[in-house]
Structure 1
Amino acid sequence: MGTVLKKLLKLPLKLLKWGGIAILLLGIATTVVIWSSGDSHFLPGPGQPLVTDVTQLNPVAVTKVTTPRTIEDIVSALQDSQGPVSIGGGRFSQGGQVSYPDSLHLDMRQFKQVLNLDVQAKEVTVQPGITWRDLQDVIDPHDLSIRIMQTYANFTVGGSISVNAHGRYIGEGPLAHSVKALKVVLADGSLISASREQNPDVFFGVIGGYGGLGVLVEATLWLTDNSRVERQDQKMPLADYKDYFFATLRDDANLVFHNADIYPPDFTRVRAVNWLKTDKPLTVNERLIPKQDNYYWTPKLAGIVADYDSGKWLRENLIDPLVYASDKVEWRNYEASYSVMELEPQDRQDVTYALREYFVPVQEFDRFAAKMAEIFQRHQANIINVSIRHAKADPGSLLAWARTETFAFVVYYQQGTDREAMKKVKAWSREMIDAVVSVGGSYYLPYQVFADESQFLAAYPRAPEYFALKQRLDPHYRFRNSLWRQHYPGEAIRGNQQAKFAQYQRGEEQTLLTIPEWYLVFNPQEYAAFLASGQHPSEFPFLDSIDRYWTLYDRVVAMTKDRYPHNDEYLTMLQVIGVSTTVEYLVKWAYEQSIGRFSQWTASAPTPEEAVIASAHQAYSELIFDKAWYEFDFAYWIDKVWQDTDFWGENFIRKLERKLAFTLEFGFKQGYAALIGYAAAATYEPAEGLVYLSAYVPEHAQLPDKVKILYQQNDAAILSLPRWGDFSRLMPSLAAAGVRFIDISGNKRISVSVLMNGELPLEHGKLMFSLPMVATADTRQAYLWVQVEQLHALLNELAQKQIRLEHIYDF
């Protein structure tokens, strides 16, 4: 009796031991199968050209990039094309202000000649693609200096005029103060001259007009004298700064440059840095910073300040005191020739650096500074520096950011490049706009476009005048970018209208990343059809199905890498479900090739259990087309396989084995589904289950009941449709009713899959790749990349040619 008891007590330990070994072997097998599966060598075909900016956060696919060198090149490009046109220079704007989806992009960087230099009059006429640094090379030998420009000299003149830039110059302010005259090519190809006296509305519309009125092709600027400047600095409490500025700096005729750096994360101390004219001997003999200067330490120091609170302390208490300890006398042009490379990190893959800027009436300095500090600290924003500048009122620009004498708060910060990080930056950015508007100020437009309509109009009350001028000069709305997509009334459905629906916007990369996820819907359909046709589970290609999932995963990752912000949440989800599916299919394959084949060998015919199991898989495959898999009632089908079939009977071994295997599989899934359902509810915000899109809807179009019109202006409307399976079922009906799509979830491109035999005879949509179905190799799944504005044509074409639409991947 004692021996038996000892053996019984050891049994759990043995089971635990063998269970651990089994799990280890399964883990090894899973790793080997995943490692040997997929298509890691896949190279996506050449896509549309990408236009991005220095932050790498806003890559936009355009139809074509052209690089004009003459005015005639620009006129020809406009007259030989139709549709939207975007204009870019140095690409230092940070929110898509130089791009628009599927536009003709004019890259102005080779349009860079100095057309005339009048040394006596201190004027220069240039093509706008020239950088300030290249212009400095021309004017410095004549002891002339640029009157107003940004701190860094890499920007193009045209880009600076288009954003109405400013710098550290005391007694100046917006660049508009230094512009004498302009020439602009309009949408119809005509050339127009503009100045304060001639076409002043065009002059003050183009300056700070973000390329919305035409192509700037010539600019005449007022210059000033080069001079020696001496650096001085003073650290003080931020509360003392405004009085110090007005008492000491504002009216000093010898003061050339001034900025004051507010130290994070407390935002209570500031260091004022002043450069005054002097006759003292130079401490820096070079007249300009060499273009090829090697910037090694400054980006690393910026990274230390960004990455660690201790780095911020070191900067304020050690680095800056050392930097400013020595006297410095240099040429004005030297101080104005900095390169942005002194701050450029080694890469911007995981984190990037960006700017925000807020303009505050001088009397509201202290009130805004307090609001700013509270917002940054509450959101734990990673602010590296806030630089204070001063600007006098704008001379008349329609989109003037300095309506009165102004302090500028230039915010330099670090953020992640993933979607979640972008959401966090948007949250504090919107609050900062509210804060600056509340004190009668404005925010700068060259950065990420987050403002709603009320914020934009509060900060830029003359915007309606600008829009009226744009309508007159560009009646067909050719000149576009992401800023105007958000705010211009000529946009059929503006971003501001879409923003009223919290879940409208989705990342375009998700239409690709969702392809492998949806394969786990289509593969069960394939399996259900396989069983319904009378074939045995042991013959189903489970291993090929695993390989297909990871092939799709590798391909969509390759297609989205470097073209979109990193979507860590979605990729992690794909990896988790991919591993769990690999384990499931590997176990089923091993089981069906052993016990399953044995019980199959013992049976003379299919059993009733197999018919129930086939029905269960068919029901599962139908549900997951419209709902999450964990909503399926696995327990119902376990009961059914036991209740609807006899326990005893012919082919008993097969009957019992099928019952037990099915019960084990669906029982495990029932428990796992409950766990995943609970985790999903606790982790993710409740989804509306809707897709939002913008479209042109014919006046008398009959829309399906599940399609709702949420907003309409003329024939343009915002619609909501159910997600998942219903979306793919309803979209062809909309296309057949004459609906033409503008965007889906804020995106201009979408992926679509169709089922075909043989070649793909389609006029609309670009084939990304095609693969044979794992169980029926004579049918191929073809994955298409489609412009949303052409989606209606593709869907109608599929109907006409009787090609089966498999799915439209709805982000």
Structure 2
Amino acid sequence: MRLLKIIFIKAWVVLVWIFRFIVRTITSFFRFINKKKRRAIPFYLVCAYFLFVFILIAISGDSEYQKVLPDKRVNDVTELNPVMVGKIVQPHSVDDIVDAIRSTTGPISIGGGRFSMGGQTAFENSLHLDMRQFNKVLDLDVEKKQVTLQAGIVWRDLQKIIDKEDLSVKIMQTYANFTVGGSISVNCHGRYVGHGPIISSVIALKIVTSDGEVVNASRQENSELFRAAIGGYGGVGVIAEATLQLAENVKVERRTELLNVEDYLTYFDENVRNDSTVIFQNGDLYPPDYEVINNVSWRTSERELTDTTRVTPEGETYWLEPRLVNVVSWGDFGKWVRKKIIDPYVYKSESVVWRNKEASYDVAELEPSSREKQTYVLQEYFIPVKRITSFIPKMRDVFEKYDVNVINVSLRHAYPDKESFLSWADEEVFAFVVYYKQGTDVKSREKVKEWTVEMTDAILSENGKWYLPYQPHATQQQFYQAFSSAPRYFEVKHQFDSLNRFTNKLLDKYDPSQSNSIELKKGQIPGYVRAEEQTILTVPEWYLVFNPKEYADWLESGNNPSDFPYYSSIDEYWKLYDRSIKLASSAYPPNDEYITMLNVIGVSVTMEYAGKMIYENTVGRVFGWFANEEISTQERTIMEAQRAYSNFIYHTAWYEFEFLPWIGKVWRQRDESSASWLRKWERTLFFTFEFTLKAGYAQLIEWAARASYEEPVTDIYVSASSVEDIQPTSDLKIIAAEGNEYILAITRWGAFTETMLTLTSSNMIIRDIGGNDEIAVSVILNKDQDLEFSDAEILYTSELVTQPDQKRMVVLMNVDDLLPFIRSMKRSSSTIEHIFDY
């Protein structure tokens, strides 16, 4: 205790000393400043100036603006695969699905519970069908033990209904949060003994194809479509309805036994395989040694229930389970704690529950508090039953080589599936369900890809397969070696989906028809994809191009520079900034780097305009009284400089403009006019000061830009179709062509807008720009003029600070509407100011 007091006293003394040192330093500084007026006056003037700038920023902008763009990002439970889709539709009926499909001509993706972990539920710029509201039970035949339902229903909601009739799901995953349609699409399995994948319990499907037709599919009707849809990952159509075979709900009792790996198969054959009383079974293979398996079996029982819950309720608070998973993820010590302490405690008590209770686990019991830096992911390997003892050492070697943080490996038995084209069980297999933890950074993700490819080779060496709902890291060669019926699957897919509308990351990678497609070529172009939010965020940046043009127009019109609305210009920048930030706040991931840049240039322009505002309304206005109707040659050269600057920055970064030569040009001019010599010299000196400061600041910014950023991308890439030949120009190049489909490279910045304006005479259809399906455009209208184009969303209207009779309207539209929009604006005599190319 005495030692703690001594430490506390010493710490307090140090803090007091630091505080007194800071106070003395500040006091000494102000004493030094205030000793002489030649130091005090400039110091306080600078302080006043910065206070003035701070106040200008504080009172400018549009804090009341509340419009936000909808979030169209679709991600999966791992949060590793965000995909920006074009439109999200939540159907409630089959007609809703049909209408959504027929309303578009582009790609379609389908999502349910979003537990597939590799981009199987989404595709860039696609129409995304979120099936979770399509969730009704349509018919329940208790005698036949059959149910017909909408595919968006989750298993737990189905369980709550059929439990009342003492019925249970025949085959499903361990957790009940998945949608039925999603489970059928991945041909799921569970811990059910005596069964294989879910296809064996599916009686019939109702599928909506890519042209909006509703087709019935079963083993007797459209059988190939049936075989392609189950385990087909949404590639042949939308599974709208399904009829499933059910089972009886019974009481089940848990039994466990620890086994060495080499004894597991014998134990399974003698105690599980042919025992009809075993409903659920799995074996937990303990990492990091992978030598011992905890066999967990649930058998039918007549004993009294230890838990009377019929179906696991929703909304339970699982505070302990995620923390235990986190403990296991600590490393080898965590694995030891699980094997020696956690599991013995969990399994020591007897457990007799309803089958529906054991089949209705909630994934919330595994969900960590955050997946920002670390996330939990699944992989699954299907190994022929006789080869598991030879596979396990190979699996262990890969995990050890790459230091994979494996939490659990669960072994589950499955009988063969000879029906689905992408069957993962051509023969009797054990599924190795691997639950592991990985980082979300790029390096960690690349490491996972590396060891997954190596693991896939180990799987293939044992004539095994892997489950496709997870990250699609396997090479095309590995994929076709394992899934030999995949070519037939893709044949059926293209029969029912000839335009390849139903797609996702998995199908896009392995579909042989995409091997030479425009879509594949896009992915091979560095810099093809641009961040879509920048079409919104770049608007205030471009205002610093528009406003200098207004200033140049103002001077050339003979207006007094002192009358230019400097504060309105500052206010307009911060209004555009506030609106852009608000619009993008929910729809896109944070773009902190770009927002920081907008803040830097916003403060810079505020400082510049604040200085000009002070000068022009004091010194500048006084000297303006001496001006006569004629202006000097120097002033005309200054106007030329301002026009040259405004034209230059429309195409090139402002800091690349050569300011200093213009100063020399002004000073070299010989003035033979009768303009006021006082005004001439005042304008010349002020211009010299302004451009000298800009030249110095530009040099600093250029140095910083070269040190901080990669070489700038000078082209924006456009995917388009055209039945006419596209003629290249200096600003438009053809990168790839396939039939009527093109990839174009168009020079960015001002040239992009100019090029787009010239393309309106063609019949081109734009598919995407920079990998995006939406783009912002600013158009200049008369104050009382309305926008006559229904497919453009008005984001906001802003001011032209020097032209009160006009307004700037910023709109957002789909890229395929861009050329029709430009044509419409030309007909209405409106001016396309700029197309914001990300």
TM-score (norm 2): 0.80
> How far off its partner does 1:148 sit?
3.5
Quick check: 1:168–1:259 contact (8 Å CA) kept in 2?
A: no
Larger CA deviation: 469-478 vs 439-448: 439-448
Give the Cα separation in 1 of the matches to 2:163 and 2:381: 32
1:633 and 2:658 correspond: yes
Using a 3 Å threshold, how does the CA distance of structure 1 residues 701 and 659 change in structure 2: closer, same or farther? same
Show the counterpart of 1:321: 341
Using a 3 Å threshold, how does the CA distance of structure 1 residues 790 and 657 change in structure 2: closer, same or farther? same
> How far off its partner does 1:24 sit?
4.0
1:467 and 2:490 correspond: yes
Show the counterpart of 2:27: none
Please state whether the residue corresponding to 1:695 is helix, strand or coil: strand
Correspondent of 1:164 among 161, 180, 187:
187
Using a 3 Å threshold, how does the CA distance of structure 1 residues 723 and 79 change in structure 2: closer, same or farther? closer
Using a 3 Å threshold, how does the CA distance of structure 1 residues 11 and 233 change in structure 2: closer, same or farther? farther
Please state whether the residue corresponding to 1:325 is helix, strand or coil: helix
Correspondent of 2:803 among 755, 769, 776:
776
Percent identity of equivalent pairs: 35
Quick check: 1:115–1:127 contact (8 Å CA) kept in 2?
A: no
Quick check: 2:417–2:425 contact (8 Å CA) kept in 1?
A: yes
> How far off its partner does 1:77 sit?
6.5
Larger CA deviation: 397-406 vs 605-614: 397-406
1:692 and 2:717 correspond: yes
> How far off its partner does 1:694 sit?
0.8
Give the Cα separation in 1 of the matches to 2:512 and 2:525: 18
Q: Deviations over 1:460-509 (max 9, x none)?
A: 56444333212222345554556556666788965432110121112221
Show the counterpart of 1:562: 586
Q: Deviations over 1:418-456 (max 9, x none)?
A: xxx6x6676456545544444447765546788887787
Which structure has the larger Rg over C-alpha atoms? 2
Matches within 5 A, 1:147-546: 147-167=170-190, 174-187=197-210, 191-196=214-219, 198-216=221-239, 217-221=241-245, 223=247, 226-230=250-254, 232=256, 253=272, 256-258=280-282, 260=284, 274-277=295-298, 284-288=306-310, 290-295=312-317, 297-298=319-320, 301=323, 317=337, 321-322=341-342, 324-326=344-346, 327-328=348-349, 329-331=351-353, 332-344=355-367, 355=377, 357=379, 359=381, 366-367=393-394, 371=398, 385=407, 387-390=409-412, 392=414, 394-401=417-424, 405=429, 407-408=431-432, 410=434, 427-428=446-447, 430-431=449-450, 434-439=453-458, 440=460, 445-446=468-469, 462-475=485-498, 477=500, 479=502, 495-546=519-570
Larger CA deviation: 104-113 vs 449-458: 449-458
Q: Deviations over 1:536-558 (max 9, x none)?
A: 33212221112111211221222
Quick check: 1:372–1:435 contact (8 Å CA) kept in 2?
A: no
Q: Deviations over 1:551-571 (max 9, x none)?
A: 112212222222222222222
Give the Cα separation in 2 of the matches to 1:375 and 1:354: 17
**How many aligned positions are there?**
779
Give the Cα separation in 2 of the matches to 1:741 and 1:76: 23
Letter in 1 for 2:607: V
1:574 and 2:598 correspond: yes
1:551 and 2:551 correspond: no
Quick check: 2:234–2:502 contact (8 Å CA) kept in 1?
A: yes
Letter in 2 for 1:29: F
Please state whether the residue corresponding to 1:687 is helix, strand or coil: coil
Larger CA deviation: 44-53 vs 516-525: 44-53
Show the counterpart of 2:608: 584
> How far off its partner does 1:651 sit?
4.1
1:39 and 2:62 correspond: yes
Using a 3 Å threshold, how does the CA distance of structure 1 residues 376 and 274 change in structure 2: closer, same or farther? same
Larger CA deviation: 319-328 vs 718-727: 319-328
Quick check: 2:152–2:180 contact (8 Å CA) kept in 1?
A: yes
Please state whether the residue corresponding to 1:681 is helix, strand or coil: helix
Unaligned segments of structure 1, at least 5 residues: 1-8, 378-382
Show the counterpart of 1:623: 648
Letter in 2 for 1:717: Y
Unaligned segments of structure 2, at least 5 residues: 1-31, 273-277
> How far off its partner does 1:726 sit?
1.1
Larger CA deviation: 52-61 vs 25-34: 52-61
Show the counterpart of 2:836: 809
Quick check: 1:109–1:129 contact (8 Å CA) kept in 2?
A: yes
Quick check: 1:228–1:330 contact (8 Å CA) kept in 2?
A: yes
Letter in 2 for 1:501: I
Using a 3 Å threshold, how does the CA distance of structure 1 residues 475 and 668 change in structure 2: closer, same or farther? same
Q: CA RMSD in A?
A: 4.3
Q: Deviations over 1:729-748 (max 9, x none)?
A: 11222332322111111111
Letter in 2 for 1:474: D
Please state whether the residue corresponding to 1:641 is helix, strand or coil: helix
Larger CA deviation: 703-712 vs 281-290: 281-290
Matches within 5 A, 1:86-165: 86-93=109-116, 95=119, 97=121, 101=125, 103=127, 105=129, 107=131, 109-113=133-137, 115-117=139-141, 124-140=147-163, 145-165=168-188
Using a 3 Å threshold, how does the CA distance of structure 1 residues 627 and 66 change in structure 2: closer, same or farther? same
Larger CA deviation: 575-584 vs 445-454: 445-454
Show the counterpart of 1:733: 758
> How far off its partner does 1:17 sit?
5.9
> How far off its partner does 1:724 sit?
1.0
> How far off its partner does 1:776 sit?
1.4
Quick check: 1:711–1:719 contact (8 Å CA) kept in 2?
A: yes
> How far off its partner does 1:696 sit?
0.5
Give the Cα separation in 2 of the matches to 1:212 and 1:430: 24
Quick check: 2:218–2:226 contact (8 Å CA) kept in 1?
A: yes
Give the Cα separation in 2 of the matches to 1:755 and 1:455: 56
Letter in 2 for 1:791: L
Quick check: 1:255–1:275 contact (8 Å CA) kept in 2?
A: no
Letter in 2 for 1:709: I
> How far off its partner does 1:751 sit?
1.0
Larger CA deviation: 771-780 vs 465-474: 465-474
Give the Cα separation in 2 of the matches to 1:319 and 1:516: 58
Please state whether the residue corresponding to 2:182 is helix, strand or coil: helix
Larger CA deviation: 603-612 vs 351-360: 351-360
Using a 3 Å threshold, how does the CA distance of structure 1 residues 105 and 124 change in structure 2: closer, same or farther? closer
> How far off its partner does 1:82 sit?
6.8
Quick check: 1:751–1:785 contact (8 Å CA) kept in 2?
A: yes
TM-score (norm 1): 0.82
Larger CA deviation: 484-493 vs 110-119: 484-493
Matches within 5 A, 1:18-37: 21-37=44-60
Give the Cα separation in 1 of the matches to 2:422 and 2:71: 32
Using a 3 Å threshold, how does the CA distance of structure 1 residues 49 and 572 change in structure 2: closer, same or farther? closer
Quick check: 1:53–1:59 contact (8 Å CA) kept in 2?
A: no
Quick check: 2:73–2:588 contact (8 Å CA) kept in 1?
A: no
Please state whether the residue corresponding to 1:66 is helix, strand or coil: coil
Show the counterpart of 1:595: 619
Give the Cα separation in 1 of the matches to 2:642 and 2:71: 41
Using a 3 Å threshold, how does the CA distance of structure 1 residues 400 and 54 change in structure 2: closer, same or farther? same
